[in-house]
Amino acid sequence: MTCVALSASATSVRTFSSVGRRSSAVRRAVRGPVRCVAAAAVEKDSVSVVLLAGGVGKRMKADMPKQYLPLLGTPIALYSLKKFAEMEEVGEIVVVCDPSYRDIFEGCPVSKPVKFALPGKERQDSVFNGLSEVREGAALAAIHDSARPLVDLADVRRCCADAMEHGAAVLAVRCKATVKEANDDLSIAKTLDRSKLWEMQTPQVIKPDLLKEGFKLVNEKGYEVTDDVSIVEFMGERVQITEGSYVNIKVTTPEDMFIAERLLNEQAVTV
């Protein structure tokens, strides 16, 4: 079965339903005692950002990966680097990139420690490499696509708070497009209920111990995932949706570049 989202900004489209759960004892071992709280506090320097900048960007048809193309004169990836560096909750940023592009990040001084990790063959390999560089004691790992330069920090903070409370959270928006399930011959099988569909974005924020346990499972089973919270889903754990903004697009095509430029110009006018 194929589920297709007709939106350039989507990384994946999901419906959510109840799934199997691990024993409460195992969940407590990963997430600590279950408590009812009004809002989870995210402490200063407690979040490690894993900034994914290792993609090749074939759809952009450019002579370099899309995340390094200039957007209003600044490489796309640096917008995210600078934004996360503004957050007091962030203690470090781990950039996952090819060594030949490190100088782009090293030439952009920010107030947070920046470390580097090598990209892997697939996204989950890059995330694993980045997670391996996250410092011991980090409360949360926030995994973000560097091709999303317009992420809103208020949304990020809400997503981090949700992850502190639930163990994992992801920015997402309600699906506006009509999404259909297709057969192998591209004939339409059925129309999905749009009211239950959400387009996943980034950051996807997960407690490091929970994500590490998830990686053990996917590696043992040989699973391949296209986003990070899928790893948590495979464990039967809850992933909380934090409603984000449609402005948080992923720049993957020349048309997306044009849209991002317009949005950035509008932000500059309103500030």
* Phi, then psi, of 32 in degrees rounded to 5: 85, 180
What's the rounded Cα separation, in Å, for the pair 250 and 223? Answer: 25
Judge whether residue 10 has pLDDT over 80.
Answer: no
Structure confidence by residue, pLDDT tens digits, 236-255: 999 999 999 999 999 999 99
What's the rounded Cα separation, in Å, for the pair 217 and 232? Answer: 10
Judge whether residue 34 has pLDDT over 70.
Answer: no
Q: What is the pLDDT of residue 268?
A: 74
- Looking at the DSSP bridge assignments, the partners of residue 115 are 94
Q: CA-CA distances (angstroms) from residue 208 to 27, 215, 252, 269?
A: 14, 10, 28, 38
Q: CA-CA distances (angstroms) from residue 99 to 54, 72, 102, 123, 169?
A: 10, 24, 5, 17, 30
Structure confidence by residue, pLDDT tens digits, 73-110: 999 999 999 999 999 999 999 999 999 999 999 999 99
Amino acid (one-letter) located at 99: P
Choose which CATH entry (3.90.660.20, 3.40.30.10, 3.90.550.10, 3.40.190.10) describes domain 2-15+40-270: 3.90.550.10
- What's the mean per-residue pLDDT of the chain? 87
- Band of pLDDT at residue 63, cut at 50, 70 and 90: confident
| Per-position DSSP letters for 131-151, written without gaps between them | HHTSPTT-SEEEEEETT-TT-
Judge whether residue 194 has pLDDT over 70.
Answer: yes
Q: What is the pLDDT of residue 168?
A: 98
Kindly state the average pLDDT of the residues 117-122.
Answer: 95
Lowest mean pLDDT among 16-30, 150-164, 247-261: 16-30
Largest Cα–Cα distance in the chain?
A: 53
Domain residue ranges in the chain: 2-15+40-270
Q: What is the pLDDT of residue 58?
A: 60
Q: What is the pLDDT of residue 226?
A: 86
Spatial CA neighbour of 224 closest among 7, 12, 6, 9: 12
